[in-house]
Structure 1
Amino acid sequence: MLASIAKQAFSYLAVDYGMQIVIANDKVVRFESPSVFVQIRFDHDRSYELGVELGLIDTEDRHGPPFNLVEVMREKHAPEADYVAHLQMSSSIVDPVAANKLALFLRYYARDLLEGNSMGFAKIASRRNSEVLEYDHARRLRLALAESDNAWESLDFARVAQLLEPFLSSLSPAQKLRLKIAKTRSDNR
């Protein structure tokens, strides 16, 4: 089912970009040109998620794993990015309307990438790296805050200061006050 729907919805990839279908089954349809690939994926076994990935064919300009359409759309500030990020079918059958929307979004927002623009891929790779670092920082901050709460309750003020100090610029005013108090109390012990 995916193969026939994707072939129809994404047929412009062959016409406009000279891509050929190299894989076509119920889980993935892959188009390739000499420099770029596009994969339409459907998880008909569990999540029923329908998505699109694209990337450069293995070259020295390649920027890691494929990028999903959501990453491309976020880089282009597309208002429909949230729709694409949460796109799931209600059953194991692909909705042709949803596939057509993905094809339209890919055509509109990824034109430069479909043409093989290495700088476009580099920008998305940079955004991905920034988002990974932001996520890691937020995760480490959450852990430090939780652990500092336990240390505060145990009156281990030196530990509170040790945990919060590396995140000073990310702390709320109340958390900064807690850090200041913890430093004062740990110095007095």
Structure 2
Amino acid sequence: MDGAMAKWACVVAEAELRESLPLRWAYSQGVAHRAAVASGVLGDDAELLASAAVLHDVGYAPRLAVTGFHPLDGARFLRDIHAADERLVRLVANHSLALLEAEERGLREVLEAEFPLPADQRLVEALVYCDMTTTPDGEITSVDARLAEITARYGSDSLVGRFIRRATPDILAAVERVETALAAQPR
């Protein structure tokens, strides 16, 4: 990761995840590697995407899990403890259609009030792409395989299973738009 923000983000994510959640740390690194792939369609925002990618699941760290909803817990940690860039915090809070999961948890109004959706949909969709094309151990996968893995891990009737079912059309559309933009990049 190049750039001061991306280096800082990697240090913070590693400090919070490496020891307590080593698999989540491997996954976060894999998502960051996917951000390098997607960076070509973002121009000046490539570093912001890389930073959000490595930090998007920091809220899973046991010491940060206040509400149990990792996008909200992670965003609050980044805002309150690190005074992180507002765009970065909003990306972490809203990654991969988090508003839909927040709704399932009764936290949608809280998430929307504290961390409105980022204005730049390209960044939001690029983070969906990175998150949803990475396996839990940090390897590249297809979006369909990733969605199936999430459903199998949590169960289709669980809160996360219901969220994934609701979010699937938007996840698939976001990943397709990013893949189309990447394919159109000059080689």
Which structure has more relative contact order (CA 8 Å, sep 6+)? It is 2
In the superposition, the TM-score normalised over structure 1's length comes to 0.29
Larger Rg: 1
Q: Which structure shows the bigger proportion of residues in strand conformation?
A: 1
Q: Which structure shows the bigger proportion of residues in helix conformation?
A: 2
